[in-house]
Amino acid sequence: MLIFEVLAIALSLVIFVHFAVNHQVRSKLKNHGWLVLLICNFVQLILDLPMPMSYYYVGSVWPTSNIFCVWWTWCEYSLNSIGLFLMAWISIERHFIIFYPHTILQVSWKKWIFHFIPIIFCLIWAPLFYFVVVIISPECTTVWDFSLLICGLPCHYEISILIQFDFIFNIVVPITIIILANLLLVIRVTYQKMSRQQAINWRRHRKMVSQLWIVSSLYLGFWLPSTITLLIQVTILPSFMIDQLEKLMNVIGVVTFRRDAGQKATMAPAR
């Protein structure tokens, strides 16, 4: 895992240098979302990933501190949700860039509404939400378990309404947007290309569409199986694919605890 982390950091630095020295690439609106997503993933590489690596190496959480557990949980959950929301917004924004390049994103106030503000929301929503439910935790007190990955589950997972809101809004909604926006983009591009109406420049935007599909497929490949399984566990059968999902999540990593949260959602009393 360490080798892959080093390679990922090195590649990220190369891309950062490319953005830094190339003003034309840096100034294009279509690249802003990717740059922000890359920065968030880079932060996750250097701040968050070493913590589960240390856990697997030592066999327990180190250092054994409540403050460290709070930091790890807040950091992990926030960065994961930021990545999902950014990917969802990038998928939506591609429609504006391809089909409305001279209307929506050319006027200053529209550029703020349909470009900058959504990116800002993606960056601040999850950290603020998890700051309240994990760090401040006004409704309950978490008892951390240093023998478990991420020190176990934060106590808000025992409050059914918070679990359901967290799972649906911070995971299901962005994943659904990613799927629908990408499918609709391909349908619209194909229809425009085949119809007699004024067609978009397919060669110009083919790279943009392909890039979006590749990156979004990676996100969906990791998140979709666990999300579907969690939905079934929460809504229909709590024991559905518990053993199989456990093995899958051990490979994927920290998302294991979303399964545990889903199971708790079916049992936790409403408060």
Count other Cβ atoms within 10 Å, centred on residue 202: 13
pLDDT digits (tens, 9 = 90+) for 147-199: 988 898 899 888 888 988 998 999 999 999 999 999 998 888 877 777 655 55
> CATH code at 122?
1.20.1070.10
User: What stretches of 59-103 show up as alpha helix (H) in DSSP?
Assistant: 66-99
pLDDT digits (tens, 9 = 90+) for 54-81: 888 898 999 999 999 999 999 999 999 9
- In contact, 192 and 199? CB cutoff 8 Å: yes
Phi, psi for residue 61 in degrees, rounded to 5: -70, 135
| Domain span holding position 180 | 2-267
pLDDT digits (tens, 9 = 90+) for 187-222: 888 777 776 555 556 666 677 778 888 888 888 887
The pTM assigned to this predicted structure is: 0.83
Number of domains in the chain: 1
